[in-house]
Chains A and B, each alone.
Chain A
């Protein structure tokens, strides 16, 4: 064994590799989760040259963690139709969702789910051989009358099954994949997106990808909160790329806190647990949801349940020595049902709490789960921006999946609607690219050019050492780890389930401070290959941009709607705030408004009414 003190801190950094390898494709897809893979499949099969760029191997994408299922009005168990699904989604969104987009998604749902089944997704089955469905929160028959059963499930591993199936289909189709390539920035010429620059993680080499269309499918950003259900890779990279390119994000104040994260850890216990009959109980053993949602109780919409839990804990009815969590009770359910329909969550509970839910309730606490906001798009996935009050698509740029805001989830997403969103709009964006006239699809692409100096500077700054022109003023012991920890802590404290003017405003100087720290943040690892500290530095930069958008938007929206609950403005204010908020970071921080699309194409609009469950 060698005695070794090899941390490399004293070695000069290898000069940042500034030479570029260039690639040429028809379409570039950033992100290989469910959204990216669904789009890639459609395009590749249609004969396009597709490159799928992902910072992890496709099967590591966080779609893999989705448990409960995907919504479609198949009506396999009880009567259902897409129009009821649409109503529930509009109501669930607290009327902030665009009704034409919601209409489209719900109409497409049965076909898109059957298509997934056809691709190979091993859905659980009913005795008659049809796809198994379970009830989820916020679902109804006859426009709010009775509970619907709409969520198509592969036990409690639906995301895993969908992701792996789509990956398998892409293998068969021959999609070219660049795994462990970290996308850094978009390339834009004459207001047209022409490609992007990515870092090959294994070597540190920079690559320029040119394409006629770029699809961002980079997923969520739950890592801005300390307690979350997201993978460590969910850092909002695509969102920050868009902000740096001078384009907006929309509705960033709306973050879903899932009611049932494992207390103290964050990871998810699916809503399927309540769908199959599980109950939330406080320290008195009361199934308290009846006090908050008399009709549907534990299956109320997620924002309602999370606030109920926070309120119970606030009033001293939390469980445990510190009265800081609530219990999810499955003990009254049949052990066989738990083993068959909820094997994954039983596993998670056993692994992370040592508790077998068949015998004992699981300690839970709300955990940041899903980003309703994101990169604004139209119904074809085209990224939208606004100048002088006019909204228009950005040439060559699309966004799909959780990073996009179409918006179908508005102020609050219904469980089972995100897996649906990612495949419906993954396909819709691909269809739109395919429908464009041939000459648009074969525009001349720019010759390889020198890498954007600003980007290079950022790269070098993170790796500053004596041999770069950036002075190493990092005479500090700051690190990517403490930066991220502080950012998450700030968001957790200042922008959680309940918010108000004072706590939000108090976070603004902290943002400024973090921005300052970013300037002197240094990476200690001098290597080029698998320099994960450098990747984390870029992720910190992206997280800060996302947090900034969230705080500014949350501060501006002086009402309570869906997941955005302001203590100081407890009511929904349709007069002033039935409107989307756009956040721009470049050239300077600006908020703008964009009307909500209240007009569906084939049915009558659902006018805003008070949301009760």
Chain B
């Protein structure tokens, strides 16, 4: 099985290693077909490749698509390596870090900006006063409105495939953060949805979304950030 991987090894380059004049380069790697078992995921293959070359760097943790560690660009599409079946991929399998964030080493990018935008979106519910004897009531219908919003794993597949986020990562919140914003705005328990919508009324944070829908296409959890963004805009409009 053939791989073509975009490497970035800044230390090796600065140490002037043979063959590493450039910190960024492409490397072909081969995985013995005998090692490829049915049902294997891309992450399993990457771990085997790392046995060939321990410097090959990528993040991973849960290995089942719930922690959001291992987003990467696979044959041109942002995916989680741990739930991407090898059998689906045409060879050579081309791997790159997700675009738009600073690359730190090989497939590892700096997530600071992404998490900063998430915090800026104020994703924290404010349910008012706490009553230790009784939960806030919420009808099943109101609870159902959160489905498709709360399941986000903050993998950044969406935001790093969004052209608006590439160009304005410091001003446009990006689809993941906006999905989180909508998740609280629409929660029947929240006591300040109006203020939240107002806080997003400047030309950038929300309104830089151009509705290109790349985000929705690339979400590995099948969520629809683009729809959440439309809802936010609509709520803002009906309110004013």
Contact = CB atoms under 8 A, between A and B. Distances in A.
Interface of A: 1-8, 10-11, 14, 56-57, 59-62, 64-65, 74, 111, 113-115, 117-120, 122-131, 154, 157, 160-161, 164-165, 168-169, 171-172, 202, 231-233, 265, 267, 344, 347-348, 351-354, 479-481, 523-530, 532-533
B201 interface: no
6 contacts: A2-B27, A8-B12, A11-B12, A64-B153, A164-B152, A168-B125
A481 B67 contact: no
Given A171-B119, A231-B62, 18 more contacts: A4-B7, A4-B27, A6-B17, A6-B55, A7-B55, A8-B9, A56-B59, A60-B69, A64-B153, A74-B135, A115-B130, A120-B124, A125-B139, A171-B124, A348-B64, A525-B55, A529-B104, A533-B54
- In the A-B complex, the 8 residue pairs with the smallest Cβ-Cβ separation, listed nearest first, are A120-B125, A129-B137, A172-B124, A2-B25, A168-B124, A530-B105, A60-B67, A6-B20
B59 to A, nearest CB: 8
A144 B154 CA distance: 42
Interface in B29-81: 39, 47, 50-51, 53-55, 57, 59-69
A532 B47 CA distance: 12
A126 to B, nearest CB: 7
B153 A117 contact: no
Interface stretch (B143-151, B157-165, B203-211): B143-151
B11 A529 contact: yes
A130 B135 contact: yes
Contacts of B27: 2, 4, 6
Given A171-B119, A351-B65, A479-B54, A529 B10 contact: yes
Contacts of B17: 6, 8, 11
A129 B55 CA distance: 53
A312 B130 CA distance: 49
A202 B67 contact: no
A117 B7 CA distance: 44
A125 B140 contact: yes
Contacts of B47: 481
A197 B12 CA distance: 27
A165 B180 CA distance: 11
Q: For chain B, which range describes its interface: under 10, 10 to 19, 20 to 34, or 35 or more residues?
A: 35 or more
Contacts of B131: 114, 118
Interface in B2-28: 7, 9-12, 15, 17-20, 22, 25-28
B19 A62 contact: no
A527 B12 contact: yes
B136 A118 contact: yes
B143 to A, nearest CB: 5
Interface string B195-225: 0000000000000000000000000000000
Contacts of A117: 135-136
Contacts of A157: 151
Given A2-B26, A114-B135, A231-B67, A120 B51 contact: no
Nearest to A527: B11
Contacts of A74: 135
Given A117-B136, A479-B54, A231 B125 contact: no
A530 B57 CA distance: 7
B22 A2 contact: yes
Contacts of A3: 19
A479 B143 CA distance: 50
A65 B66 contact: yes
B68 A529 contact: no
A160 B68 CA distance: 11
A5 B83 CA distance: 29
Given A11-B12, A129-B139, A524-B54, A232 B63 contact: yes
A124 B152 CA distance: 17
Contact of A56 (B61, B119, B132): B61
A117 B55 CA distance: 44
**Which of B125, B132, B184 has the most A CB atoms < 10 Å from its CB?**
B125
Contacts of A161: 150
A258 to B, nearest CB: 14
Contacts, number: 193
A5 B152 CA distance: 39
B149 to A, nearest CB: 9
B113 interface: no
A172 B10 CA distance: 35
**Which of A5, A8, A479 has the most B CB atoms < 10 Å from its CB?**
A8
A125 B12 contact: no
Nearest to A118: B130
A164 B155 CA distance: 13
A172 B189 CA distance: 17
B100 interface: no
A405 B17 CA distance: 49
A65 B67 contact: yes
A151 to B, nearest CB: 15
Nearest to B151: A157
B134 A114 contact: yes
Nearest to A203: B104
Interface string B165-188: 000000000000000000010010
B99 interface: no
Contacts of B59: 56
Given A59-B67, A114-B134, A4 B19 contact: yes
**Which of B20, B22, B47, B54 has the most A CB atoms < 10 Å from its CB?**
B54
Contacts of B39: 265, 352-354
Interface in B88-134: 104-105, 108, 111, 115, 118-119, 122-125, 127, 130-134
A267 B123 contact: no
B138 interface: yes
Nearest to B145: A122
B113 to A, nearest CB: 13
B62 A64 contact: yes
**Which of A14, A60, A129 has the most B CB atoms < 10 Å from its CB?**
A60
A127 B143 CA distance: 11
B7 A160 contact: no
A353 B115 CA distance: 33
A232 B60 contact: yes
A412 to B, nearest CB: 25
Given A6-B7, A168-B123, A529-B10, A122 B150 contact: yes
Contacts of B60: 232
A533 B53 CA distance: 10
A118 B63 CA distance: 31
Contacts of A171: 118-119, 123-124
A8 B52 CA distance: 12
A231 B150 contact: no
Contacts of A4: 7, 19-20, 25-27
Contacts of A233: 61
A481 B51 contact: yes
Contact of A126 (B69, B118, B140): B140
Contacts of A61: 67
Given A125-B139, A125-B143, A527-B55, A169 B65 contact: no
A343 to B, nearest CB: 9
